[in-house]
Amino acid sequence: MPNTAIGNELAMDDRTLVAGVLAGNPDAERRMYDTHVDRVFRLAYRLTGDEELAREFTQDAFVRAFDRLATFRGEAKLSTWLCSVATSVVFNGLRKIKRIRSRQVELDMVTVADERRTAEPDLKERLQAAIDDLPQGYRAVFLMHDVEGYTHEEIAEAMGIQPGTSKAQLSRARAKLRVALAAFAGGVAS
């Protein structure tokens, strides 16, 4: 159940911040950046897997957002609007680059929530490959929802799709991952 009071407060805060930025207030610009940069950078990194690209896309996203801030109507949250700018920048950037990443997951960076169940390295690699192989839309929805914790409404807004489409794509993404990992499923499921 959404808390309307908090929602209104956030919307008001967004409007105040946007008004400050549009008025040319450098403090407001920095505040807007500081408030949202982590989320944008994390998303860019999840989608690219490359720090340089993630930085570049994050920077481009904010430059574009500042340039187009006057078009922000306040119908969505500022964070969601920024996310839509960022996903557009990342998808366009990746299309331009036209190369498939095959980076290895750095095993020492992987922290499984349940310490008792440590996946084998080849299993993680298999999962990495399976996520890489997902169609771009499925992969984005899976990473945004299951890994970064976005809601379907936020994903829909960011990607210009319906929430129902987001749910359907997540379902298909999970199904594809289950199939890809079927050989390992026995130990996990049992």
Rounded CA-CA distance 150/81 in Å is 13
Using CB under 8 A as the binding rule, whether residue 117 contacts another protein is answered as yes
DSSP secondary structure letter of residue 148:
T
Rounded CA-CA distance 77/13 in Å is 10
Collapsing DSSP to helix, strand or coil, 73 comes out as: coil
Residues of span 96-115 touching another protein by CB under 8 A: 105-106, 109-114
**Minimal CA–CA distance to 78: which of 91, 92, 68?**
68
Using CB under 8 A as the binding rule, whether residue 91 contacts another protein is answered as no
Contact segment (CB under 8 A) with another protein among 11-19, 92-100, 117-125, 157-165 equals 117-125
Q: Whole-number minimum distance, CB 45 to another protein, in Å?
A: 4
Q: What angle do CA 176, 142, 77 make, to 5 degrees?
A: 155
Using CB under 8 A as the binding rule, whether residue 183 contacts another protein is answered as no
In this structure, the chain runs to a length of: 190
Using the minimum distance from each CB to another protein, give the nearer residue, 22 or 37. Answer: 37
Rounded CA-CA distance 129/66 in Å is 36
- Judge contact between 13 and 28, C-beta under 8 A: no
Q: Whole-number minimum distance, CB 41 to another protein, in Å?
A: 5
Using the minimum distance from each CB to another protein, give the nearer residue, 15 or 30. Answer: 30
Q: Which of 124, 153, 161, 165 binds another protein (CB under 8 A)?
A: 124
Using the minimum distance from each CB to another protein, give the nearer residue, 130 or 161. Answer: 130
- Judge contact between 143 and 87, C-beta under 8 A: no
Which residue is it, tokens 């409404």? Answer: 153
Using CB under 8 A as the binding rule, whether residue 58 contacts another protein is answered as yes
Where does this chain bind another protein (CB under 8 A)? 30, 33-34, 37-38, 41-42, 45-49, 51, 54-55, 58-60, 62-63, 66-67, 105-106, 109-114, 117, 119, 123-124, 127-128, 131, 142-143, 146-147, 174, 177-178, 181, 185, 188-190
